[in-house]
Structure formats: structure tokens, C-alpha cells
């Protein structure tokens, strides 16, 4: 007698059971965040300004600004960033507050937003959010001064050497020097212009941006935003 034929299971073979083969996941399992996701800032942090970040700016007194000369400001940095921005040196407002590009009228933070690096304009006090966006800030020369032109050639050359070592240690994908004159002097590139540079820096691609200081009358907020946007496009295409 011919045995009865078995009717195929219309749902097909069962997969993904808790007691299944190696690599299967129990029902309801959710994978944990990737290393990148673990470092992203919370959405609420970027959707609205932090309490007290705007409208309640810290304004150092004249005495506090004078006392801030030659101080340093800690880097905002982490390994493997997408872009490490490099200022010339901290101003007195930055040294007094501990925030990079903190002086009112400095256009770094507006340009960063206009260029597409941040979803809204960050206040200098929110600089701690930058590594979560793959961004960081350091300076060629660590000591603060009232004006960048107070720095000596020797300081800029020494600062370029220190920066090279820092880039080799933290290995950002891109290094963006914010100030072409400081770059020309520090790295002995007298003919360097804005934009991508032919030589990498310690293995990282190198870009030169305009100085966002309010004293730089050659660039408006709009043209600064465009310059930052060109870097952002290069980073996105990488």
C-alpha cells in the first residue's frame, strides 16, 4: 500500500527560533546600538537650545578678560572624528569662558550651521555636543591672546608641529584649519589657498577655511557659510 503523501507546510521552514541554529535570535530580540549610535547626542539636545544657552550669555568683565591672557582652552576632541577644526589660538573671551570661538561677533558657529554640519546653530557653551556629530575643535597655538596677530612666527611653527602629533594620535578623517595666514606661516606653505590642500596632515585630509573672526571683513556670514558648505560636501562625498 502506498503511504499517504505529506502536505507541505505553507509557511515554509521555520527559522529564527530561540533554540534554533547558531546565529538565530530569540523572538523579540533587539540589537544594541552601534558604536557610532552610542556617541550620538540625544535628539532633544539638538532640537532645542540647552537651558541658559541663549539669552543668558556669560559676559566676562574687563578684569576677567585681562586675566585670561595666556590661558588655554581644553580641546573638544575624540578619536576618529570626521572633521577636526583648528583655530589659530583662543581669544580672551574663549579663555575666560572655556568655550571655543566664544566672542560675540565670531561667526564660526553660524558658519558651521550654514554649512550643514549642525542641524541648528549651537551656542559656544554647547561645544560638548560636537563629538557626537563627528566634529571637534583644537587650536594651532594653545595660549590665549586678544588678537591672533600677537602670536610670533616661532609659536605658529611650534604649534604646527604639535598639531601634527595630535592628528597622528586622534586620526580624524579631515583636518580643517580655520585661517589661511596661520596655516601658511606654521606649515611653511606661503602660496596655500582656501579649500583642499594637496598634502595630507599625518594621514588626514587637509582643508583650509577662512578665519571666521568678525575682524575678517573679506568674508560675510553668507560667504563663510558657503566655504564651510564646500567642506561639508567633500566630507559627505568621501
Q: Going residue by residue through the chain (238 aa), what tens digit of pLDDT does each one get? A: 455 454 444 444 443 333 333 334 334 433 343 333 334 444 446 766 554 444 456 899 999 999 999 999 999 999 999 999 999 999 999 999 999 999 999 999 999 999 999 999 999 999 999 999 999 999 999 999 999 999 999 999 999 999 999 999 999 999 999 999 999 999 999 999 999 999 999 999 999 999 999 888 899 999 999 999 999 999 999 8
What are the residue boundaries of the structural domains of the chain, listed by start? 75-237
> Cβ(82)–Cβ(173) under 8 Å?
yes
Residues paired with 78 in a beta bridge: none
The model carries a pTM of: 0.80
Report the CATH fold assignment for 75-237: Uracil-DNA Glycosylase, subunit E (3.40.470)
Give the pLDDT confidence of 187-225 residue by residue, as tens digits. Answer: 999 999 999 999 999 999 999 999 999 888 899 999 999
Amino acid at each position: 500500500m502506498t503511504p499517504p503523501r505529506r502536505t507541505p507546510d505553507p509557511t515554509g521552514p521555520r527559522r529564527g527560533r530561540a533554540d534554533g541554529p547558531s546565529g538565530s535570535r530569540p523572538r523579540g530580540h533587539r540589537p544594541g546600538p552601534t558604536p557610532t549610535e552610542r556617541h550620538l547626542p540625544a535628539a532633544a539636545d539638538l532640537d532645542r537650545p540647552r537651558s541658559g544657552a541663549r539669552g543668558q550669555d556669560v559676559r566676562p568683565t574687563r578684569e576677567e578678560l585681562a586675566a585670561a591672557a595666556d590661558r588655554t582652552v581644553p580641546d573638544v576632541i575624540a578619536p576618529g572624528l570626521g572633521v577636526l577644526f583648528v583655530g589659530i589660538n583662543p581669544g580672551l573671551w574663549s579663555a575666560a569662558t572655556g568655550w571655543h570661538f566664544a566672542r560675540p561677533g565670531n561667526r564660526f558657529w553660524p558658519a558651521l550651521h550654514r554649512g550643514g554640519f549642525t542641524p541648528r546653530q549651537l551656542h559656544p557653551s554647547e561645544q560638548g555636543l560636537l563629538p557626537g556629530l563627528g566634529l571637534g575643535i583644537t587650536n594651532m597655538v594653545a595660549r590665549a591672546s586678544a588678537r591672533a596677530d600677537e602670536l610670533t612666527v616661532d609659536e605658529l611653527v611650534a604649534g604646527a608641529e604639535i598639531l601634527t602629533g595630535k592628528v597622528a594620535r586622534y586620526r580624524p578623517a579631515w583636518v580643517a584649519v580655520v585661517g589661511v595666514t596661520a596655516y601658511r606661516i606654521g606649515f611653511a606653505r606661503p602660496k596655500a589657498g582656501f579649500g583642499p590642500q594637496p598634502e595630507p596632515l599625518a594621514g588626514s585630509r587637509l582643508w583650509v577655511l577662512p578665519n571666521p573672526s568678525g575682524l575678517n571683513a573679506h568674508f560675510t556670514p553668507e560667504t563663510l557659510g558657503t566655504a564651510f558648505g564646500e567642506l561639508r560636501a567633500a566630507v559627505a562625498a568621501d
